[in-house]
Structure 1
């Protein structure tokens, strides 16, 4: 009987001590104030200060501008939370950071969710449906301010580059004007290539093929005499009109 009670008492003591420690640890963390993840929301404080002014009352346009500025700060914090949360979660799993920083991030996330709902409700109080687009407007204004700050920094960046690397003036490019053309001047056309020179007439050099009569197998009397006496000068023979008419037929 004693051999059975010893392990049961051991298990009860272990689990009881774990429960007591966990409850004590939770109470301690609940009473502990974590360091805020973000600094104080200055734009929210300015908006509430303008809203509480009554003598004279704050114009509505100024209140709307303060609310948009407050939404711009909220958009900046949303972007930072989206970028930091995965990295902090990975570091927490590896044990590189403590639970304080992670709990501070979770508290900032919950506070930011409540802030977004409050800003949307304030925007709908001014203009119906403005709460659904106020954060989009704030995002566009934030990007516009970043671009303007970059443009304003260009002279300082240029001066720093000139001080570091020296001033190198750009070479001046001169463009010569084209000569004026008169409207009456003839337009020059590209010259056509010369055609190859045709050889001299067939019977002037004695290398031409025989005449049509030779092709047909008939020779005239003069051609027969030329063939018989090659040394005699060759004179072209004129065919009779009757033969020409036969050929045409």
Structure 2
């Protein structure tokens, strides 16, 4: 009987001591303040300072710009947390780092979750539905700033490489410029169309001989349209044979 009670009592003492140790350890860790994983959020402080301005109040455009800048900093920190967490977890399992750094990362994750919800609520307060796209806009602006910074650093990087390796070792970059566009481009020539305003040439058969055209035709010649000219036919002069025969008939009478 005594041989059975001794192992049972030993197990109870061991598990009881572990439970007591874990209880006090958790209470100690709960009251312990860990070193922050990220530096102070300067953009968030600037946004709160602008919100508290009352004389005069900050314009809405300035508040929106400050909120976008705050979201850009949040995106940067979220990306860093996603990259650092797997590596720190492996190092913690191997015993290379202590629990303080891991707990600091977990506290930073909880803080970022609350920060994301707060930024989305602030964005929806300005424009309805803006909270769902503000982080996407902040990500695009962050990539744009990185690209612009890299382009601005190209001359200094090239100068450093020339100083280190020599100018002849670097490839020469030649950019062909496009031909300049003409200042006053000439419009394309329109296809030639027959002129309708040109007056048709009068055929030789339609011309009056010896000035014997009727007086009405001479007076209204300027008022006749081109279509009337092409349709109407000129009056032919009277035949001389008819005039001579009429004279002979008058003499006989």
- How high is the TM-score relative to the length of structure 2? 0.65
Farther-moved stretch of structure 1 (48-57 vs 158-167): 158-167
Match in the other structure for 1:125? 125
- The CA deviation at 1:159 is 1.7
C-alpha distance in 1 between matches for 2:122 and 2:75:
16
Match in the other structure for 2:14? 14
C-alpha distance in 2 between matches for 1:85 and 1:100:
14
- The CA deviation at 1:171 is 11
Cα 1:171–1:57 change in 2 (3 A) is closer
For residues 179-218 of structure 1, what are the structure 2 equivalents within 5 Å?
A: none
C-alpha distance in 2 between matches for 1:170 and 1:153:
18
Cα 1:171–1:69 change in 2 (3 A) is closer
C-alpha distance in 1 between matches for 2:161 and 2:8:
78
Deviations 1:28-56 (A, max 9, x none): 11111111111100000000000000001
Deviations 1:104-160 (A, max 9, x none): 101000000000000000000000000000000000000000011011111111221
Large movers: runs of 4+ above 6 Å: none
Deviations 1:162-182 (A, max 9, x none): 22233349699xxxxxxxxxx
Match in the other structure for 1:136? 136
Cα 1:8–1:130 change in 2 (3 A) is same
Other structure's SS at 1:73 match:
helix
Unaligned regions of 5+ residues in structure 2, if any? 175-253
For residues 95-110 of structure 1, what are the structure 2 equivalents within 5 Å?
A: 95-110=95-110
Deviations 1:166-214 (A, max 9, x none): 3349699xxxxxxxxxxxxxxxxxxxxxxxxxxxxxxxxxxxxxxxxxx
Match in the other structure for 1:87? 87
Match in the other structure for 1:214? none
C-alpha distance in 2 between matches for 1:130 and 1:80:
24
For residues 153-232 of structure 1, what are the structure 2 equivalents within 5 Å?
A: 153-168=153-168
Max Rg structure: 1
Cα 1:144–1:171 change in 2 (3 A) is closer
C-alpha distance in 2 between matches for 1:70 and 1:2:
69
Is 1:24 matched up with 2:24? Answer: yes
For residues 137-152 of structure 1, what are the structure 2 equivalents within 5 Å?
A: 137-152=137-152
- How high is the TM-score relative to the length of structure 1? 0.66
Q: Considering only aligned residues, what root-mean-square deviation do their CA atoms show, in Å? A: 1.8
Is 1:40 matched up with 2:40? Answer: yes
Cα 1:13–1:167 change in 2 (3 A) is closer
Unaligned regions of 5+ residues in structure 1, if any? 173-249
Match in the other structure for 1:60? 60
C-alpha distance in 2 between matches for 1:31 and 1:134:
36
